[in-house]
Structure 1
Amino acid sequence: MREFGTPITLDEMETLGLKAISALPDAFREQLGDVVFAVEDFADAETLRDLGIEDPFELSGVYEGHALIERSIEMSGTLPTRIRLFRRPIIDEWAERGDETLEHLVRHVVIHEIGHHFGLSDEDMHALEDLADLED
Protein backbone atom coordinates (compact mmCIF):
# COMPACT_ATOMS: atom_id res chain seq x y z
CA MET A 1 0.00 0.00 0.00
CA ARG A 2 1.37 3.41 -0.98
CA GLU A 3 1.73 6.03 1.72
CA PHE A 4 0.25 9.46 1.08
CA GLY A 5 2.89 11.99 0.04
CA THR A 6 5.11 9.46 -1.70
CA PRO A 7 5.49 10.40 -5.37
CA ILE A 8 4.28 7.84 -7.89
CA THR A 9 5.68 7.56 -11.39
CA LEU A 10 3.75 6.93 -14.59
CA ASP A 11 5.17 3.40 -14.69
CA GLU A 12 4.11 2.69 -11.10
CA MET A 13 0.57 3.89 -11.80
CA GLU A 14 0.50 1.78 -14.95
CA THR A 15 1.47 -1.22 -12.82
CA LEU A 16 -1.44 -0.46 -10.45
CA GLY A 17 -3.82 -0.21 -13.40
CA LEU A 18 -2.62 -3.45 -14.95
CA LYS A 19 -2.93 -5.15 -11.56
CA ALA A 20 -6.56 -3.98 -11.40
CA ILE A 21 -7.18 -5.43 -14.86
CA SER A 22 -5.51 -8.74 -13.99
CA ALA A 23 -7.76 -9.03 -10.91
CA LEU A 24 -10.92 -8.93 -13.04
CA PRO A 25 -12.85 -12.18 -13.47
CA ASP A 26 -11.67 -14.13 -16.53
CA ALA A 27 -14.96 -13.57 -18.37
CA PHE A 28 -14.45 -9.80 -18.28
CA ARG A 29 -10.70 -9.82 -18.87
CA GLU A 30 -11.10 -12.03 -21.95
CA GLN A 31 -13.55 -9.53 -23.46
CA LEU A 32 -10.99 -6.71 -23.29
CA GLY A 33 -9.20 -8.20 -26.27
CA ASP A 34 -6.75 -5.72 -27.74
CA VAL A 35 -7.65 -2.70 -25.59
CA VAL A 36 -4.55 -0.54 -25.16
CA PHE A 37 -3.89 0.68 -21.60
CA ALA A 38 -1.82 3.82 -20.98
CA VAL A 39 -1.07 6.30 -18.21
CA GLU A 40 -0.25 9.95 -18.88
CA ASP A 41 0.15 12.96 -16.62
CA PHE A 42 -2.86 14.81 -18.08
CA ALA A 43 -5.31 14.49 -20.94
CA ASP A 44 -4.24 16.35 -24.06
CA ALA A 45 -6.00 19.57 -25.11
CA GLU A 46 -7.95 17.84 -27.90
CA THR A 47 -9.40 15.22 -25.53
CA LEU A 48 -10.40 17.88 -23.00
CA ARG A 49 -11.99 19.99 -25.74
CA ASP A 50 -13.89 17.00 -27.17
CA LEU A 51 -15.29 16.21 -23.73
CA GLY A 52 -16.09 19.85 -22.92
CA ILE A 53 -13.72 19.90 -19.94
CA GLU A 54 -11.73 23.05 -19.20
CA ASP A 55 -9.77 21.98 -16.12
CA PRO A 56 -7.45 19.03 -16.84
CA PHE A 57 -7.64 18.04 -13.16
CA GLU A 58 -11.30 17.09 -13.70
CA LEU A 59 -10.50 14.09 -15.92
CA SER A 60 -8.92 11.06 -14.26
CA GLY A 61 -9.50 8.59 -17.07
CA VAL A 62 -11.07 8.12 -20.49
CA TYR A 63 -12.28 5.27 -22.67
CA GLU A 64 -11.62 5.85 -26.37
CA GLY A 65 -13.28 3.54 -28.82
CA HIS A 66 -16.54 1.80 -29.48
CA ALA A 67 -18.24 -0.29 -26.83
CA LEU A 68 -18.53 -4.00 -27.56
CA ILE A 69 -22.27 -3.64 -28.17
CA GLU A 70 -21.65 -1.01 -30.89
CA ARG A 71 -18.95 -2.80 -32.89
CA SER A 72 -19.35 -4.14 -36.39
CA ILE A 73 -17.18 -5.58 -39.13
CA GLU A 74 -17.32 -2.20 -40.86
CA MET A 75 -15.10 -0.74 -38.14
CA SER A 76 -11.99 -2.62 -39.20
CA GLY A 77 -9.06 -0.33 -39.75
CA THR A 78 -10.06 2.12 -37.02
CA LEU A 79 -7.74 3.21 -34.25
CA PRO A 80 -7.36 0.73 -31.39
CA THR A 81 -9.61 1.00 -28.37
CA ARG A 82 -7.77 2.68 -25.50
CA ILE A 83 -8.16 3.24 -21.80
CA ARG A 84 -6.07 6.15 -20.58
CA LEU A 85 -5.56 7.12 -16.96
CA PHE A 86 -4.30 10.55 -15.97
CA ARG A 87 -1.83 10.44 -13.11
CA ARG A 88 -1.97 14.02 -11.80
CA PRO A 89 -5.79 14.23 -11.50
CA ILE A 90 -5.85 10.81 -9.80
CA ILE A 91 -3.19 11.91 -7.31
CA ASP A 92 -5.13 15.11 -6.59
CA GLU A 93 -8.38 13.19 -6.07
CA TRP A 94 -6.56 10.76 -3.77
CA ALA A 95 -5.19 13.67 -1.73
CA GLU A 96 -8.62 15.32 -1.52
CA ARG A 97 -10.40 12.14 -0.44
CA GLY A 98 -7.82 10.97 2.05
CA ASP A 99 -10.02 8.02 2.97
CA GLU A 100 -8.83 5.34 0.58
CA THR A 101 -5.64 3.90 -0.80
CA LEU A 102 -4.22 4.98 -4.12
CA GLU A 103 -4.55 1.38 -5.27
CA HIS A 104 -8.29 1.47 -4.54
CA LEU A 105 -8.77 4.74 -6.43
CA VAL A 106 -6.81 3.53 -9.48
CA ARG A 107 -8.84 0.30 -9.46
CA HIS A 108 -12.05 2.36 -9.31
CA VAL A 109 -11.03 4.50 -12.32
CA VAL A 110 -9.89 1.45 -14.33
CA ILE A 111 -13.14 -0.42 -13.67
CA HIS A 112 -15.15 2.68 -14.55
CA GLU A 113 -13.41 2.97 -17.94
CA ILE A 114 -13.77 -0.77 -18.56
CA GLY A 115 -17.49 -0.30 -17.92
CA HIS A 116 -17.61 1.95 -20.98
CA HIS A 117 -16.00 -0.88 -22.99
CA PHE A 118 -19.02 -3.01 -22.10
CA GLY A 119 -21.44 -0.25 -23.09
CA LEU A 120 -22.32 1.07 -19.64
CA SER A 121 -23.03 4.78 -19.31
CA ASP A 122 -21.76 6.91 -16.44
CA GLU A 123 -25.31 6.81 -15.01
CA ASP A 124 -25.37 2.98 -15.19
CA MET A 125 -22.05 2.77 -13.35
CA HIS A 126 -23.08 5.24 -10.66
CA ALA A 127 -26.25 3.23 -10.08
CA LEU A 128 -24.21 0.03 -9.74
CA GLU A 129 -21.81 1.74 -7.33
CA ASP A 130 -24.76 2.97 -5.25
CA LEU A 131 -26.15 -0.57 -5.09
CA ALA A 132 -22.76 -1.90 -4.02
CA ASP A 133 -22.57 0.77 -1.30
CA LEU A 134 -25.99 -0.31 0.01
CA GLU A 135 -24.76 -3.91 0.27
CA ASP A 136 -21.70 -2.92 2.36
Structure 2
Amino acid sequence: MMRTPTLWKILALPLLAVAAVAGAQTPAKPSDAPPQLERIDEMGEAPITVTPQAPKQQITEKREGGAVTEVKVTTGGSTYYMKPSAGGDLANSGTLRGPQWKVLEFDLGKKKQKQNEEEAADVPAPPPAK
Protein backbone atom coordinates (compact mmCIF):
# COMPACT_ATOMS: atom_id res chain seq x y z
CA MET A 1 0.00 0.00 0.00
CA MET A 2 1.19 3.53 -0.81
CA ARG A 3 1.95 6.10 1.76
CA THR A 4 -0.60 8.89 2.18
CA PRO A 5 1.75 11.82 1.30
CA THR A 6 2.81 10.11 -1.95
CA LEU A 7 -0.85 9.44 -2.84
CA TRP A 8 -1.72 13.12 -2.30
CA LYS A 9 1.16 14.18 -4.54
CA ILE A 10 -0.08 11.94 -7.34
CA LEU A 11 -3.68 13.18 -7.00
CA ALA A 12 -2.66 16.84 -6.74
CA LEU A 13 -0.47 16.76 -9.86
CA PRO A 14 -3.39 16.82 -12.41
CA LEU A 15 -5.11 19.57 -10.42
CA LEU A 16 -1.98 21.72 -10.53
CA ALA A 17 -1.71 21.19 -14.30
CA VAL A 18 -5.33 22.27 -14.82
CA ALA A 19 -4.83 25.35 -12.65
CA ALA A 20 -1.68 26.31 -14.60
CA VAL A 21 -3.49 26.00 -17.95
CA ALA A 22 -6.46 28.03 -16.67
CA GLY A 23 -4.13 30.75 -15.39
CA ALA A 24 -2.32 30.92 -18.73
CA GLN A 25 -5.60 31.41 -20.65
CA THR A 26 -6.77 34.38 -18.59
CA PRO A 27 -7.05 37.34 -21.00
CA ALA A 28 -5.05 40.47 -20.30
CA LYS A 29 -6.95 43.47 -18.98
CA PRO A 30 -7.64 45.95 -21.80
CA SER A 31 -6.01 49.33 -21.47
CA ASP A 32 -8.05 52.42 -20.70
CA ALA A 33 -6.57 54.34 -23.66
CA PRO A 34 -8.89 54.80 -26.67
CA PRO A 35 -8.08 52.76 -29.76
CA GLN A 36 -6.08 54.37 -32.54
CA LEU A 37 -8.38 55.35 -35.42
CA GLU A 38 -7.42 55.91 -39.04
CA ARG A 39 -8.67 58.93 -40.97
CA ILE A 40 -10.43 57.94 -44.19
CA ASP A 41 -10.37 60.48 -46.99
CA GLU A 42 -13.70 61.07 -48.69
CA MET A 43 -14.05 60.05 -52.29
CA GLY A 44 -15.17 62.38 -55.09
CA GLU A 45 -18.35 64.40 -55.07
CA ALA A 46 -20.04 62.24 -57.73
CA PRO A 47 -23.51 61.26 -56.50
CA ILE A 48 -24.56 57.65 -56.63
CA THR A 49 -27.80 56.95 -58.44
CA VAL A 50 -29.57 53.61 -58.47
CA THR A 51 -32.32 53.00 -60.99
CA PRO A 52 -34.41 49.96 -60.13
CA GLN A 53 -35.37 47.80 -63.05
CA ALA A 54 -38.84 46.37 -63.02
CA PRO A 55 -38.74 42.59 -63.48
CA LYS A 56 -39.97 41.58 -66.90
CA GLN A 57 -43.11 39.54 -66.61
CA GLN A 58 -44.68 37.46 -69.35
CA ILE A 59 -48.02 35.65 -69.02
CA THR A 60 -48.99 33.04 -71.59
CA GLU A 61 -52.41 31.37 -71.59
CA LYS A 62 -53.06 27.94 -73.07
CA ARG A 63 -56.60 27.49 -74.39
CA GLU A 64 -58.50 24.42 -75.46
CA GLY A 65 -61.91 24.95 -76.99
CA GLY A 66 -61.98 28.61 -75.93
CA ALA A 67 -61.40 27.80 -72.26
CA VAL A 68 -58.16 28.68 -70.45
CA THR A 69 -56.61 25.41 -69.26
CA GLU A 70 -53.14 26.58 -68.23
CA VAL A 71 -51.34 29.83 -67.51
CA LYS A 72 -47.55 30.12 -67.81
CA VAL A 73 -46.00 33.00 -65.86
CA THR A 74 -42.38 34.01 -66.47
CA THR A 75 -41.00 36.57 -64.01
CA GLY A 76 -37.33 37.44 -63.72
CA GLY A 77 -35.48 34.14 -63.89
CA SER A 78 -38.31 31.88 -62.74
CA THR A 79 -41.23 30.23 -64.50
CA TYR A 80 -44.33 28.68 -62.99
CA TYR A 81 -47.60 27.21 -64.25
CA MET A 82 -51.13 27.60 -62.85
CA LYS A 83 -53.69 24.88 -63.64
CA PRO A 84 -57.23 24.14 -62.40
CA SER A 85 -57.53 21.37 -59.83
CA ALA A 86 -60.06 19.21 -61.68
CA GLY A 87 -59.79 19.90 -65.40
CA GLY A 88 -62.00 22.43 -67.11
CA ASP A 89 -61.67 26.19 -67.40
CA LEU A 90 -59.11 27.99 -65.27
CA ALA A 91 -61.13 31.22 -65.08
CA ASN A 92 -64.47 29.61 -64.11
CA SER A 93 -63.09 26.91 -61.84
CA GLY A 94 -63.36 27.73 -58.15
CA THR A 95 -60.23 25.90 -57.05
CA LEU A 96 -56.68 25.99 -58.33
CA ARG A 97 -53.75 23.68 -57.82
CA GLY A 98 -50.67 25.15 -56.25
CA PRO A 99 -48.25 26.70 -58.71
CA GLN A 100 -45.94 24.27 -60.47
CA TRP A 101 -42.42 25.70 -60.69
CA LYS A 102 -40.15 24.91 -63.59
CA VAL A 103 -36.88 23.80 -61.99
CA LEU A 104 -34.84 22.14 -64.74
CA GLU A 105 -35.44 21.47 -68.40
CA PHE A 106 -33.76 18.65 -70.25
CA ASP A 107 -33.17 19.08 -73.96
CA LEU A 108 -31.28 15.91 -74.81
CA GLY A 109 -31.55 15.70 -78.60
CA LYS A 110 -31.78 19.32 -79.73
CA LYS A 111 -28.60 20.50 -78.02
CA LYS A 112 -26.48 17.90 -79.83
CA GLN A 113 -28.14 18.76 -83.15
CA LYS A 114 -27.41 22.45 -82.60
CA GLN A 115 -23.75 21.72 -81.77
CA ASN A 116 -23.39 19.60 -84.92
CA GLU A 117 -24.91 22.38 -87.04
CA GLU A 118 -22.52 24.96 -85.53
CA GLU A 119 -19.53 22.70 -86.16
CA ALA A 120 -20.64 22.14 -89.76
CA ALA A 121 -20.93 25.91 -90.24
CA ASP A 122 -17.40 26.43 -88.87
CA VAL A 123 -15.79 23.94 -91.29
CA PRO A 124 -14.66 25.75 -94.46
CA ALA A 125 -16.29 24.66 -97.68
CA PRO A 126 -14.12 22.50 -99.96
CA PRO A 127 -12.69 24.22 -103.05
CA PRO A 128 -14.84 23.88 -106.15
CA ALA A 129 -13.97 20.96 -108.48
CA LYS A 130 -12.48 21.87 -111.87
TM-score (norm 1): 0.19
* Higher-strand-fraction structure: 2
TM-score (norm 2): 0.20
Higher RCO (C-alpha 8 Å, min separation 6): 1
* Higher-helix-fraction structure: 1
Rg comparison, structure with higher value: 2
